[in-house]
Structure 1
Amino acid sequence: MSTVITSTPLAGRTAVVTGASSGIGQATAERLAALGAHVAVMARRRDRLDALVGRITAAGGTALAVPLDVTDRDAVRAAADYVAAELGPAGLVFANAGVQLISAIDELRIEDWQRQIDLNITGVMNTIGAFVPQLVRVADDGQTSDLITTSSIAATRVLEKFSVYSGTKAYLSQLTRLLRVELGRKMVRVSTIEPGMVDTELPDHVTDPDASKLMADLINDIDVLRPADVAETVAFIASVPRHVNLTEITVLPTQQAI
């Protein structure tokens, strides 16, 4: 298969990125805009979204800030209508918002459990529910349409104290496989990315001292992934020919052994 990738392979496409105020989401929004997509960026922190939009527009791109909490179903549905009205129907949705709160199960940090379930699962489902109609509409018009989620290697690896987080990511990996069966028939591609250790804000959210030290040591000891590395992977998934669906991609630091 011979593929020619132009400098703006995503030109004309409307992209939605959740969790866009930092890390992988922020880097991906900037990369998709650089490749020609009109990008709607979503997260709770308005100031960071505004700064992101400023950088994208200064570089010649098009971006729209949509402050919201993805756990609020009505807000996400309203945002979907707003994006369609301002930029056109979304043909690329990167459901990336998530949180990682690591602790031993017998510590009974139930609020942390619930927060991970609410954001990592319910937030993604709210995003899917709001934007799948647009993705299908775009595909029906003969255009490329992508739904991409952020899972983790924790979805398949047995990592101590990661039980709830890993469970939420296993849900996303399996959900992607199942949705591809349904949406693939409609020419909507469904993919998930399973990164290893990425230098983002997520380790800062870990309150368990031992788990926090483990992650800090890993960042210090090896050359871990940068958000831009994952962003490039998302861009590649979205840029391949319409009949090609890269369903699951694991991205690891070369030196990561756990």
Structure 2
Amino acid sequence: MSYTTLAGRTAVITGAASGMGSATARLLAAQGVRVALLARRAERLEELAAAIKEAGGEALAVATDVTDQASVDAAAELVHNTFGRVDLVVNAAGVMLPNPVDEGRADEWQRMIDTNVTGALRIIRAFTADLVAAAAEGRTADLVNISSIGAHIMFPNYAVYGATKAALTYLSTSLRTEFGPRDVRVTNIEPGLTDTELADHVDNAELSGQLDGMFDALGGLSSDEIADLIAYTTSRARHINLRQLIVQPTRQA
């Protein structure tokens, strides 16, 4: 599908080294969007940027740790110096580390909070002025946050992960009251079972097996399918805000 209205826009995409972030970067770039690729794995970003450029797109690889404010500040400076003002931000960076709460894995809790919540806030802070200015000029401006159906559907042993995603969903809802009156759209996307590298982070053999069983029984969405949804959402007329999107495999209740 072609989303011609996206051409000429400038996007920042976190979590761009893999999964939904990478797929979104490829699709947006193919539609004529300049894409700044943010993630920790520099080598993966460089490979993606090279592939996008080879296909005729514009891409900038920016090694960034969203849990580190100095890293985000440096990334924002590089993006601005290279591409100028941004009008589309996709918060796709995330980490999922399920375990029973009574195991007390405080390091995992902190990592999820720092990445899934505070990391998204750092990116929002870095590029809010860009989005507001773009909208004030009459251009389309989008903030897209990738949450999860875990924000409101309970899964045993995913309490902390679900709590971080619930926080991101609430943040998106609240930000609309601040950004909407200034013509900046905020979209919260909650994917269901999706084939990404998140599952690879699970170090609990029982929970990993449960995930495998769910994919076998229900099937799963692909990262490309989530990217397609992001492209569709951000290519609507600027007065239309698809604000809350829940997407899951048909077999997933």
Query: What TM bracket, shorter-length normalisation?
Result: over 0.9
d(CA) in 2 for partners of 1:241 and 1:7? 11
Structure 2 SS opposite 1:9: helix
**Structure 2 residue aligned with 1:194:** 190
d(CA) in 2 for partners of 1:79 and 1:67? 8
**Structure 1 residue aligned with 2:251:** 255
AA in 2 matched with 1:50: E
**Structure 2 residue aligned with 1:164:** 160
Check conservation: 2:3, 2:235, Cα contact below 8 A.
no
**Structure 1 residue aligned with 2:30:** 34
- The TM-score with structure 2 as length reference comes to 0.97
- The TM-score with structure 1 as length reference comes to 0.96
**Structure 1 residue aligned with 2:46:** 50
Structure 1 SS opposite 2:59: strand
Percent of aligned pairs with the same amino acid: 46
Structure 2 SS opposite 1:86: helix
Structure 1 SS opposite 2:195: coil
**Structure 2 residue aligned with 1:115:** 111
Picking from 197, 203, 222, the partner of 1:226 is: 222
Structure 2 SS opposite 1:16: strand
AA in 2 matched with 1:207: D
Ranges in structure 2 where 5+ consecutive residues have no aligned partner: none
Deviations 1:18-68 (A, max 9, x none): 000000000000011111100000001011001101111111111000001
Please list every run of at least 4 consecutive aligned residues from structure 1 whose deviation after the TM superposition is greater than 4 angstroms. none
Deviations 1:56-81 (A, max 9, x none): 11111110000010111122122112
d(CA) in 1 for partners of 2:137 and 2:211? 45
**Structure 2 residue aligned with 1:155:** 151
d(CA) in 2 for partners of 1:138 and 1:88? 11
Check conservation: 2:53, 2:59, Cα contact below 8 A.
yes
Pairwise CA RMSD of aligned residues? Answer: 1.1
AA in 2 matched with 1:167: A
Deviations 1:78-100 (A, max 9, x none): 21122122112110000110100
